[in-house]
Amino acid sequence: MFFIDYWYIVLVVPAILLGLLAQSMVSAAFNKYSKIRTSYGYTAEQVARQILDQNGLYNVQIQRIQGNLTDNYNPQTNIVSLSDSVYGNNSIAAIGVAAHEVGHAIQHAKGYFPIKVRQAIIPVTNFGSTISPFLIILGFLLGSTPLAMLGVILFSTVAVFQLVTLPVEFNASHRALNTLDSFGILTRDEISGARAVLTAAAMTYVAALITSLAQLLRLILILSQDRD
């Protein structure tokens, strides 16, 4: 995180490589299924609107944003944003991504507990991720273990946030796949393709958590060595 050491090579580098592998899997899955059009020809925007309306979420808007896989749902503005590669696309990949983002809107509407927790700890996580590097570096420079440990504790909020994110993302994908199946938007074979895309995307969150845990363990081990 701050300098190269034995623990960085042993713990963090493999985690980073895992993250890169996860990202490549997402790209490969999306590229593969973005070339396969769905049988019924619905665009991702049309599917998103249909699912929202079926769940009574008429107040949630859908907009197009620039970028590739920059899709997101903003609970503050009640807007589902679909990227250029998804919005007007009628591929299996685009439909899966759009349904996933709508799944987040449904989670908020239904008061899904993990997403409430995630929203509640965002300010703490933002503060912890911003201030922790300074405290850890200052602690090492001053030889102050308590100060460095405070930085590590604050840094751990990032791992907690990513841990809470896992059930949120997996549940959104589960909702998406069930909806696409039950509404007859995709055929069974097409559902398998959408599942492949969403599963690959979910692995990036797993990799992010592993990377944070590796960073956290590394810092704890360095502090333990300094105390000895």
- The residue type of 61 is Q
101 is catalytic: yes
Q: At 58, is the secondary structure helix, strand, or coil?
A: coil
User: Cα dihedral angle (36, 34, 205, 102), rounded to 10 degrees?
Assistant: -90
C-alpha separations of 180 from 17, 102, 190 in Å: 33, 11, 10
Cβ atoms of 44 and 87 closer than 8 Å: yes
User: Amino acid identity of 203?
Assistant: M
Residues 105, 170: Cα–Cα separation, whole Å: 14
Q: Which of 45, 101, 169, 190 is catalytic?
A: 101
Known catalytic residues?
Answer: 101
